[in-house]
Structure 1
Amino acid sequence: MKILIEGEKYPLNDLREIFDDPKFYHQEGQEGTILSVGYYHSFTRTHKKAQLVYMLPKVFMKTNEETVFGISKNSLYNLEQSDTFKHKEEYNWIRQVSVYFYNSLLEFKRRNKSSTIVQSSLSTNLSTNLNEQDYSYLDLLLSFVNFYKKNKNNVLFRHIESKSQQIRKPNWEKTIRKSVPLITKNGQPIYDVYRNKKKIVNTEEELLVYFFSILNHFNNDHKLYLKIDKSYQLIEGRKFKQLQENGLSKLRKIKYRYFNDTLKKMYHLCEIYFSQTDKSSIRNRKEEFISVNNYNLVFEDMVDKLFSDPIIEKKTKDGISLKNLKYNDDGKIIDHIFDYQSLLDRSDIFYIGDSKYYKSDNTAGKVSKFKQFTYAKNVIQYNIDLLNETGTYYTENLRYRDKLTEGYNITPNFFIYGYIKDFKNFDSDELNEKGGIVKSFHFENRLFDRDTLFVHQYKINFLYVLKAYTQFGNRTIKKLRGVTKNRFRENFIDFFSDKNKSEFEFYEFKGGNVKEFVEKNFRKINGKCFLTKENKLILARHKNDDKLNNLITEFKQYEFE
């Protein structure tokens, strides 16, 4: 097994040794830069034996040279030869990462095959020669290992049972004469080899030998450290190579011997394996791979599956829907877009997020921040167009613009970055704030203005997202969404509740005629007030705004709920 990392440079000769096709890297002098993220396996190597190759995302890089595993990229590449590292727990853990990673590519392929918007971008980004019904080499390896771990006790019991049936009538004279017994403390002989008067053919053993020979081959090639029972006469070396070539025909000769469910499954696994290696098989291929050139699309889809709600197909007169804004023509996706309780009242507002796919310690640049503001403004305009045309928003409870004050509700925005802190942690999201708040405005002192936007920044455990993407069911994902949405809302509320952070103080109109107050002071409070669903007039006063001093007496301190 070889592990490479996207965007990193490796000696060109090493890359030529493991890849039959140079499309996975870009040559730069005597080095090559890995372009793809994915899985690769070659069945025919001219220089060395075939290997599994993983091209992991760049989020696994911590610095320019060190990976999140605490070793250099070169040590990770030569992991099989590292005697000091390969016996540690981390070695087996890396295989676990590889499995989750591989499954994430398959899930991405499954989720996006019918989407015409995403498919247009995937045609140049997602590449594979694995069809829907194909088993990859890695699929087979994992299937054999999982089957063995799950059924080894059952299989061993059946083997012992069949052996015991063969020695019901032992020839004790030959047994004593030709076998060496074990002597107990009491001086009693125990024979582990018996001579039978009558030979009984074990119809199951041939299949067991094939299965465990294949498993042993996987075990030796990939150093899986499986303890395979030595009761079986394994086929190895040159004889196993011959078995790979003609095993399918041998297997089919014994097909009708098996009725037990466990043995039938074992037969099916062996049949699929020999279909891949049999030279006479029409499905034989030289290599197999699944790779993505722009892994940011995969990461975006991973987070989108976990946090975003299904989109309602509600269009404006121009034919624009929220789906058009979410899935852009260039393949970019607004990863998170969901309606949830607003910060001021019990109405709903869209929360708009964008996933950032960088190395673990990097943050978004200026271009990404401007794009996020554009996304948010487009969503606001879409809802305003619906309001102007139909008198309603995307949903009945959604409120963007207050007709009385002409103020705009606060639109929560956020970036979310994948990172890896503990490379053994798959089970906690580690969702935390990252960096400061990014803001954009036309008028600094007008919070309830459509051009005033605040973007929070979060980081989330990439390994948790990787596992959740492929293993979480709908119920678990729904629960995760609810918890996460509430955390986003609470964090925004904490930010605006602290005037030292947000630079705003919030007040609620004490009473009296709200409409009269607004109309009388409209110029002073334009963009600074918003009337909630519960008819509470909220004033947001910037710390540098002295024009509202005379009006504050008519308000009381407002506290977010």
Structure 2
Amino acid sequence: MRILIEEYQYDVSKVRDVLYGIDALENMEGRVSIHYVGYYYNMLLKDCVFILPKVLLKDVDDKELVFGKYKPEDIANLDTFDSKERSFLYKFAVWIYRAIVVYKNDKRSDTTIVCHSRIAQMGNGGRRLSNTYLDILLSLIQFNRDNQNFFFFVIKNLHSGLNKINWQRTIATKTAIIQDGQAVYLNPVNKRRQVNFDEELLVIFFSILNYIGDTYGFPKDICCQFPLITGKRFETYLKGLGKTRLRQIKYKYFSDKALQLWNLCYTFFKEARQISVSTEQREYLLVKNFNIVFEAIIDELIGDKEPPRGLKDQDDGKRVDHIYSYRNLTNNEEDKPIYYIGDSKYYKIGNKISDESVYKQFTYARNVIQWNLNIFLDDKKEDAALRKEHPIYRDELTEGYNIVPNFFISAKMDEKLSYADNVSTTNRENNTFLSRHFENRLFDRDTLLVYHYDVNFLYVVSLYARENAHQKAQWKQKVRELFREKIQAALEENYKFYAMTPKPGVNHEKYLRENFQELLGKVYRPFDDTNYLSLALDKQKESENKDLLDKLQKDYYVVECPLGKNPTSVLSGEKAQNSSEAVHGRKGVLMVMMEKYATKSANFTHGKLAVAIKMTVESMDIVENLSNIGYVLFHHRSDNDQHLFSVRGTCIIKAAGELEDDRYKNIGNKELYISVDIDTTELSSGNLHASKIKPASKETRYDAQFAWLSDLESDNSKVAE
């Protein structure tokens, strides 16, 4: 087995024989490079050659070295490697082969870049001695395809006569039951089977096929229902039992096919690298531009298969490598996803992202933002479903824009040659790229960030090659959440995030309009409760930020809130103050049952209200606490559709005839009412729960009640959970 590295500049004189039979690009200085990845048979050397991806290369002291220690010219014949590295390369070649095959079979792939001819097929023509693990696996698979008749013939002989009754032994050993003058034997003796070594060989063979199917994703095509050797038991075969058992039964076989099958199985367990394969035709499986295959691998593992038109293939002719819809960065609402934009980079280890690539990535994000705005601004019927599925990226009230997640994803080779699943940003001088028009405006359309992450090349290639739908779906979910968390963490390294909500008496919309220029790009409204805003401030602008926070805290409750966290958990203490520290200091709540609030509230927009009271326990409780009523809460026995207002002045008991004509009565034709004036600015009620207060009886469930704010507020420990 010979090894070449993709795109490495070789000295022609050192690799001329190895390159025999394949096109290569030679420059004027006598250097040559190969722009393929894959496998081919070298007729001159009578040996196979693997061209491996350039991710094996690492720059060390301005030299490109394999595994960071070998010159590519020195490892062409594999003798330089130690046993661990040699074993790794044998099996790594299998993964590369499988990845190319899966790519070739994908109907969405550009198959014009794949050059393929049948590999390692068994035959009667000229033969060679193979020395690759891949040849062993392919020979096993080929034998299975070509010898179905042999398997059925063996199985037929194994089972012939098994259902014939041995009457002589049955009569001699079993007791008969006489029924209607005839002897009936309940347990007749069938023909006994002896240990059959043909069957054991087939069990071992099909167990091997099952193992390489599960491990590498090769098609199993197991036609016989034998009890296979699997799991830990098969591991013992791999560790030596397989060779031992096959040696024990070797001399039980006489037919050519059985001996050939025994040899294949024994070679697999021994990994002897010696197996006769046909060389009737030139054998190769090569792919040009492996970066296209790597892009397909990443897109299969993280991307959406069919994003809406205009997202992947954008209207300006640009094409995004990867795009998918997932939970946005600013809140945890599952029903408000945002599009993540990814670009895969197939580089040597440690290569830097070019300025051109960064600029393109910013352009992709701008196009996605505009695509999102267009589906809302144009109001086309064909976009109606998209409008339901996706939130608009721009908030009308604050003119803030949601953060668009954007990242590069490149391959790295694990230094321990491990296939472990890992994603990292380590060993990079710069893994964050920023584009902006204004400073300290994260929630701005022109503030765009791109992050750079590495994935273990071995892991993603092996996962793609196995074609296990369940494993791929699991990793897709895992890595999407991981990228979200890593982008959030990177943002929090540069920005400090706050949640803010207006204090009682503050007109939220009016305040934002009057301070629009000062807050533009710094605030965004990502939460379901629109009284809450997310505030982002650049950590490098401490003096500027302090002045803004001092000003905001006069009218808003402002608390640090990690990006994506629900504000109710971090603002619970502040919201308690929002509910109990009004100017008048009164902490009592007049709870008014009101269904169809949206319709009825139009009748008291001036703030004048009359709440009916009766001769009930609930009404007497209200009368006793008139001086404590500081708020009115409209509700209908649930935690949804609640509306909280502060009270102006003091509540007064009046007879029906004493009420002003324009004062709205919540219930008509009653004798007594509580006359109450409310501030028309609605307060935040997200931390209040009307359902906590139960009426004394079913008859009074629609009556007004008195409650203390502390009885209505969320339990802090529960909110935190």
Q: Same fold (TM over 0.5)?
A: yes
Aligned to 1:513: 507
The CA RMSD over aligned residues, in Å, is 3.6
The letter of the residue matching 2:311 is L
Q: Distance in 1 between matches of 2:291 and 2:509?
A: 49
Q: Distance in 2 between matches of 1:129 and 1:90?
A: 27
Change (3 A) 1:407 1:161: closer
Please give the secondary structure, in 2, of the residue aligned with 1:342.
coil
For the Cα contact (< 8 Å) 2:321–2:343, is it kept in 1?
yes
Q: Distance in 2 between matches of 1:227 and 1:16?
A: 26
Deviation at 1:325, TM superposition (A): 3.1
The letter of the residue matching 2:258 is L
Do structure 1's residue 205 and structure 2's residue 255 form an aligned pair?
yes
Aligned to 2:45: 48
Q: Who wins on radius of gyration, i.e. which is larger?
A: 2
Gaps of 5+ in 2: 122-131, 145-153, 156-194, 202-251, 566-721
The letter of the residue matching 1:376 is A
Q: Distance in 1 between matches of 2:274 and 2:537?
A: 70
Do structure 1's residue 158 and structure 2's residue 197 form an aligned pair?
yes
Deviation at 1:364, TM superposition (A): 1.0
Deviation at 1:102, TM superposition (A): 1.2
Do structure 1's residue 59 and structure 2's residue 55 form an aligned pair?
yes
Do structure 1's residue 334 and structure 2's residue 321 form an aligned pair?
yes
Deviation at 1:373, TM superposition (A): 0.8
Do structure 1's residue 225 and structure 2's residue 272 form an aligned pair?
yes
For the Cα contact (< 8 Å) 1:301–1:335, is it kept in 2?
no
For the Cα contact (< 8 Å) 1:38–1:102, is it kept in 2?
yes
Please give the secondary structure, in 1, of the residue aligned with 2:312.
helix
For the Cα contact (< 8 Å) 2:411–2:457, is it kept in 1?
yes
Deviation at 1:402, TM superposition (A): 1.0
Aligned to 2:6: 6
Deviation at 1:99, TM superposition (A): 0.5
The letter of the residue matching 2:360 is K
Aligned to 1:557: 559
Please give the secondary structure, in 1, of the residue aligned with 2:17.
helix
Deviation at 1:161, TM superposition (A): 10
Aligned to 2:524: 530
Deviation at 1:225, TM superposition (A): 2.0
Q: For residues 149-207 of structure 1, what are the alpha-carbon distances to aligned partners after superposition, in whole Å with 9 as ceiling and x for unaligned?
A: 9xxxx999737999xxxxxxxxxxxxxxxxxxxxxxxxxxxxxxxxxxxxxxx995222
Change (3 A) 1:423 1:106: farther
Change (3 A) 1:395 1:454: farther
Q: For residues 380-409 of structure 1, what are the alpha-carbon distances to aligned partners after superposition, in whole Å with 9 as ceiling and x for unaligned?
A: 111111121237646624341112222110
Deviation at 1:339, TM superposition (A): 2.6
Aligned pairs (5 A) from 1:330-479 = 333-346=320-333, 347-390=336-379, 393=386, 396-432=389-425, 434=428, 435-479=430-474
Aligned to 2:297: 302
Deviation at 1:211, TM superposition (A): 4.9
Change (3 A) 1:325 1:31: same
Deviation at 1:30, TM superposition (A): 3.3
Aligned pairs (5 A) from 1:137-216 = 141-144=136-139, 158=197, 205-211=255-261
Q: Distance in 1 between matches of 2:519 and 2:330?
A: 20
For the Cα contact (< 8 Å) 2:495–2:536, is it kept in 1?
no
Q: For residues 225-249 of structure 1, what are the alpha-carbon distances to aligned partners after superposition, in whole Å with 9 as ceiling and x for unaligned?
A: 2699xxxxxxxxxxx8xxxxxxxxx
Aligned to 1:105: 100
Deviation at 1:439, TM superposition (A): 1.1
Deviation at 1:445, TM superposition (A): 1.9
Q: Distance in 2 between matches of 1:55 and 1:73?
A: 11
Deviation at 1:40, TM superposition (A): 1.6
Q: Distance in 2 between matches of 1:482 and 1:400?
A: 23
Pick 1 or 2: higher relative contact order, CA cutoff 8 A, min separation 6: 1
The letter of the residue matching 2:403 is I
Q: Distance in 2 between matches of 1:160 and 1:380?
A: 64
Please give the secondary structure, in 1, of the residue aligned with 2:286.
strand
Aligned to 2:665: none
TM-score by length of 1: 0.68
Deviation at 1:350, TM superposition (A): 1.4
Determine which structure has the larger strand proportion and give its number: 2
Please give the secondary structure, in 1, of the residue aligned with 2:458.
helix
For the Cα contact (< 8 Å) 1:514–1:537, is it kept in 2?
no
Q: Which has the larger displacement, 8-17 or 346-355?
A: 8-17
Do structure 1's residue 540 and structure 2's residue 542 form an aligned pair?
no
Q: Distance in 2 between matches of 1:398 and 1:140?
A: 53
Deviation at 1:65, TM superposition (A): 3.6
Q: Distance in 2 between matches of 1:530 and 1:413?
A: 19
Deviation at 1:128, TM superposition (A): 0.8
For the Cα contact (< 8 Å) 1:432–1:460, is it kept in 2?
no
For the Cα contact (< 8 Å) 1:528–1:541, is it kept in 2?
yes
Give aligned pairs, total.
Answer: 433
Deviation at 1:22, TM superposition (A): 4.6
Change (3 A) 1:417 1:299: same
Change (3 A) 1:382 1:502: same
Q: For residues 75-124 of structure 1, what are the alpha-carbon distances to aligned partners after superposition, in whole Å with 9 as ceiling and x for unaligned?
A: 32121x44xx45x232122111110011111112222xx33xx63xx64x
Change (3 A) 1:285 1:430: same
Q: Distance in 2 between matches of 1:341 and 1:161?
A: 56
The letter of the residue matching 1:353 is G
Aligned pairs (5 A) from 1:109-124 = 109-111=104-106, 114-115=107-108, 119=110, 123=112
Aligned pairs (5 A) from 1:286-325 = 286-292=282-288, 294-313=289-308, 315=309, 321-325=310-314
Aligned pairs (5 A) from 1:74-113 = 74-79=73-78, 81-82=79-80, 85=81, 88-111=83-106
For the Cα contact (< 8 Å) 2:414–2:458, is it kept in 1?
no
Q: For residues 462-519 of structure 1, what are the alpha-carbon distances to aligned partners after superposition, in whole Å with 9 as ceiling and x for unaligned?
A: 111111111152222222122222222222333344xxx3144434133443222222
Q: Distance in 1 between matches of 2:484 and 2:91?
A: 34
For the Cα contact (< 8 Å) 1:334–1:353, is it kept in 2?
yes
Q: For residues 266-293 of structure 1, what are the alpha-carbon distances to aligned partners after superposition, in whole Å with 9 as ceiling and x for unaligned?
A: xxxxxxx6xx54xxxxxx533433221x
Q: For residues 133-157 of structure 1, what are the alpha-carbon distances to aligned partners after superposition, in whole Å with 9 as ceiling and x for unaligned?
A: x4556865323357999xxxx9997
The letter of the residue matching 1:3 is I
Deviation at 1:527, TM superposition (A): 2.1
Change (3 A) 1:20 1:539: same
The letter of the residue matching 2:355 is K
Change (3 A) 1:335 1:424: same
The letter of the residue matching 1:471 is R
Deviation at 1:338, TM superposition (A): 3.1
For the Cα contact (< 8 Å) 1:345–1:532, is it kept in 2?
no
Q: For residues 274-319 of structure 1, what are the alpha-carbon distances to aligned partners after superposition, in whole Å with 9 as ceiling and x for unaligned?
A: xx54xxxxxx533433221x22211111111111123244x4xxxx
Aligned to 2:71: 72
Deviation at 1:323, TM superposition (A): 3.4
Q: Distance in 1 between matches of 2:481 and 2:327?
A: 9
For the Cα contact (< 8 Å) 2:312–2:320, is it kept in 1?
no
Please give the secondary structure, in 2, of the residue aligned with 1:97.
helix
For the Cα contact (< 8 Å) 1:336–1:353, is it kept in 2?
yes
Deviation at 1:553, TM superposition (A): 3.0
Change (3 A) 1:161 1:100: closer
Please give the secondary structure, in 2, of the residue aligned with 1:448.
coil
Percent identity over paired residues: 27
Please give the secondary structure, in 2, of the residue aligned with 1:410.
coil
Change (3 A) 1:424 1:449: same
Do structure 1's residue 485 and structure 2's residue 480 form an aligned pair?
yes
Q: Distance in 1 between matches of 2:419 and 2:359?
A: 33
